[in-house]
Amino acid sequence: MAGGGGGEGEPEFQIAPMIDVLLVLLIFFMSITTAQVLKVDKNVKLPLAPNAIKKDTQRSEVIINVRWDEAAKKANYIVDEKVFLETGELTKAVTAAKFAGETRVTKSANPTFRAVIRGDRDATAMYISRAMNAAAEAGISDISFSAVNKE
Residues of this chain that bind another protein (CB under 8 A): 15, 18-19, 22-23, 25-26, 29-30, 32-33, 36, 39-40, 46-56, 66, 116, 119-129, 132, 135-136, 140-150
C-alpha atoms less than 13 angstroms from C-alpha of 1 in its C-beta half-sphere: 9
State the minimum distance, in angstroms, from the CB of residue 121 to another protein. 4
State the minimum distance, in angstroms, from the CB of residue 142 to another protein. 6
Q: Which of 62, 140 has the CB closer to another protein?
A: 140
Task: Please classify residue 32 by burial: count the beta carbons closer than 10 Å to its beta carbon, then call 0-12 exposed, 13-18 middle and 19+ buried.
Answer: exposed
3-state secondary structure of 99: helix
In sequence order, the β-bridge partners of residue 83 are: 78
State the minimum distance, in angstroms, from the CB of residue 136 to another protein. 5
The conformational region for residue 115 under phi > 0 = left, psi -120 to 50 = alpha, else beta, is: beta
Alpha-carbon distance of 147 to 51, in angstroms, equals 10
The residue type of 96 is A
State the minimum distance, in angstroms, from the CB of residue 9 to another protein. 8
Alpha-carbon distance of 85 to 82, in angstroms, equals 10
State the minimum distance, in angstroms, from the CB of residue 19 to another protein. 7
